Chains A and B, each alone.
Chain A
Amino acid sequence: MAEVRAEMVANVWKVVAAEGAEVSDGDTLVILESMKMEIPVLAEGSGTLTRLHVAEGDVVQEGDLIAVIE
């Protein structure tokens, strides 16, 4: 199981992947936006995206859980 966490305080601009989808290492799951910069959040490992904790428009804090890949 791999947990994907936010590296910084940011707004969730776009949710790219869907819960339940098969993802590969390096796939873009979510795109965050902070300080006018887009920051793609990538899958760290391959597997099923069992949980997606954020929705577009959410604000995440550093360390917040974004997704779980199993």
Chain B
Amino acid sequence: MLNSVLVANRGEIARRVITTARRLGIRAVAVYSEADEGLPFVAEADEAVLIGPPPPAQSYLDSGAVLAAARRTGAAAIHPGYGFLSENPQFARQVLAEGLTWVGPPPRAIERMGDKINARNLMAQAGVPVAEGTAEPVTSADAALAEAARIGYPVMVKAAAGGGGIGMSVVRDAGGLRAAFETARTRAERFFGDPAILLERYIERARHVEVQILGLADGRVIALGERDCSVQRRHQKVAEETPSPGVDATLRGRMLAAAVQAGAAVGYRNAGTVECLVDGAAGDFVFLEMNTRLQVEHPVTELVTGIDLVEQQFRIAAGEDVSFDEAAVQPHGHALELRVYAEDPVRFLPSPGTITQWEEPAGAGVRVDAGYAAGNPVTPFYDPLLAKLCVHGPDRDEALARAREAVAAFRITGPRTNLPFHADLLASREFSSGDYDTSIIARLRP
């Protein structure tokens, strides 16, 4: 096993990784920006290194500063968490070139899946279903119009190098396409440094369902069930659950097999997620993209399988077997994750501020992965995720009941939070019925 790891991330995910590292006897090194000095992950690490000022480009995205911290502390490995440097193949190569262990997939797999156009083409070749769309970058509004006419409206316009819903939009007719294309292009350039745009057929009333995969040290790829991530605002996830209420055993079997195929096609190792759109009406699915890292919502999979995914990441990175019998994985019960964001619960606008009160719910089946505590400032520099409130129950109804109680018991004052939205979501007939899709928030907050 590895003897030490530097966690190149912040907030709840840094804390999450540090917890498992310490449980396994791996010395955990945190890096932090000036804005995050008082956060729990810094205190809980065995060692912590200040790597720069608050803006991400000068701290968490500064690969030179992260690698210097690794050298200084003698860390043997780097775990990137999600976001920041996690899907940057150049960084992964630098880590390996330094003689360190990269707790993630091979750089080549990150690269091949990182460009969404390339990933789509690759998946189509591997026999994984993809939506009708562009096989090459769309470089002008005129070309976008021609492609959209071929694909058929509505279409989704997105950045090939994108993530986090940035620059994405649904266009229903030719009239709106030019503006959507220009917006996507500007944002793609600004946020991802790559203006490549793709168009894809948009599926109405779709569910967003993803499959957790693990590429094992011996080269096999396994799937650990799905997660339904259809509750989204601004194309960003707000709540997730497993199993998906919209996926039956037959569809699940096909999706898991396709996800394994997707991973095998790029020689995948370590934890990854294959995202799909499920067309409920047709009982079918298409490949959307692959996230070549640990996913934010991984805890729901952990709750139903009893498997610590971060532990498996460390084991695979060290060339060891996973800790469980792959043939005998049997998910139990139902799990939900509610993302607690520092934002107002109606318009979902950011709400930074200092936390004056922080009381987490506890009880049977409740797990809170928190990045903050009372007294911590929540700054505008990073994403608004404060904590992930996760619940597990023997069935969906029981999990929902526990979630309602836990939401009511979670007290955060200082920044406004979306906890009141979660209470509304859990009380809504649509979510409770399980029959919902990616437009559910638009209906709950018209």
| Chain A residues near B (Cβ < 8 Å) | 7-11, 33-37, 39, 59
Known: A35-B342, A35-B343, A36-B164. A8 touches B382 (CB 8 A): no
Number of interface residues of B (CB under 8 A): 16
Closest 3 pairs between A and B when the two form their complex, measured CB to CB: A34-B380, A35-B350, A34-B350
Contact A9 B380 (CB under 8 A): yes
Contact B384 A35 (CB under 8 A): yes
- In the complex, the chain B residue whose C-beta lies closest to that of A57 is B55
What mask results when residues 335 to 351 of chain B are scored 1 for a CB within 8 Å of chain A, else 0? Answer: 00000001100000111
Contact A39 B349 (CB under 8 A): yes
Contact A7 B349 (CB under 8 A): yes
Can you give 17 contacting A-B residue pairs, CB < 8 Å? A8-B349, A8-B352, A9-B352, A10-B350, A10-B380, A11-B380, A33-B380, A34-B350, A34-B380, A35-B342, A35-B382, A36-B164, A36-B384, A37-B234, A37-B349, A39-B350, A59-B380
The complex places the Cα of A35 from the Cα of B350 at a distance, in Å, of 6
- In the complex, the chain A residue whose C-beta lies closest to that of B382 is A35
Q: Is the contact region of chain B dominated by helix, strand, or loop, or is it mixed? A: loop
Contact A34 B352 (CB under 8 A): yes
The complex places the Cα of A51 from the Cα of B407 at a distance, in Å, of 45
The complex places the Cα of A59 from the Cα of B381 at a distance, in Å, of 10
Greatest chain B CB density within 10 A among A9, A33, A36 is at: A36
> Contacts of B381 on A, CB cut-off 8 Å?
11, 35
Q: Shortest CB–CB separation between residue A46 and chain B, in angstroms?
A: 23
The complex places the Cα of A34 from the Cα of B382 at a distance, in Å, of 8
> Contacts of B280 on A, CB cut-off 8 Å?
none
Contact A36 B349 (CB under 8 A): no
Cβ < 8 Å to A, chain B residues 241-280: none
B397 within 8 A of A: no
> Contacts of B343 on A, CB cut-off 8 Å?
35
> Contacts of A10 on B, CB cut-off 8 Å?
350, 380
> Contacts of B349 on A, CB cut-off 8 Å?
7-8, 37, 39
**Further 19 A-B residue pairs, CB within 8 A, beyond A11-B380, A35-B342:** A7-B349, A8-B349, A8-B350, A8-B351, A8-B352, A8-B380, A9-B379, A10-B350, A11-B381, A33-B380, A34-B352, A34-B380, A35-B350, A35-B380, A35-B381, A35-B382, A35-B383, A35-B384, A37-B234
- In the complex, the chain B residue whose C-beta lies closest to that of A59 is B380
B52 within 8 A of A: no
> Contacts of B383 on A, CB cut-off 8 Å?
35-36
Q: Shortest CB–CB separation between residue A41 and chain B, in angstroms?
A: 12
Q: Shortest CB–CB separation between residue A56 and chain B, in angstroms?
A: 13
The complex places the Cα of A39 from the Cα of B350 at a distance, in Å, of 9
The complex places the Cα of A59 from the Cα of B380 at a distance, in Å, of 9
> Contacts of A8 on B, CB cut-off 8 Å?
349-352, 380
The complex places the Cα of A34 from the Cα of B380 at a distance, in Å, of 5
> Contacts of B353 on A, CB cut-off 8 Å?
9
Contact B382 A36 (CB under 8 A): yes
The complex places the Cα of A34 from the Cα of B54 at a distance, in Å, of 13
Greatest chain A CB density within 10 A among B234, B352, B382 is at: B352
The complex places the Cα of A8 from the Cα of B378 at a distance, in Å, of 12
> Contacts of A9 on B, CB cut-off 8 Å?
352-353, 379-380
Cβ < 8 Å to A, chain B residues 328-373: 342-343, 349-353
Greatest chain B CB density within 10 A among A9, A10, A33 is at: A9
Greatest chain A CB density within 10 A among B164, B166, B381, B383 is at: B381
- In the complex, the chain B residue whose C-beta lies closest to that of A38 is B187
The complex places the Cα of A17 from the Cα of B343 at a distance, in Å, of 27
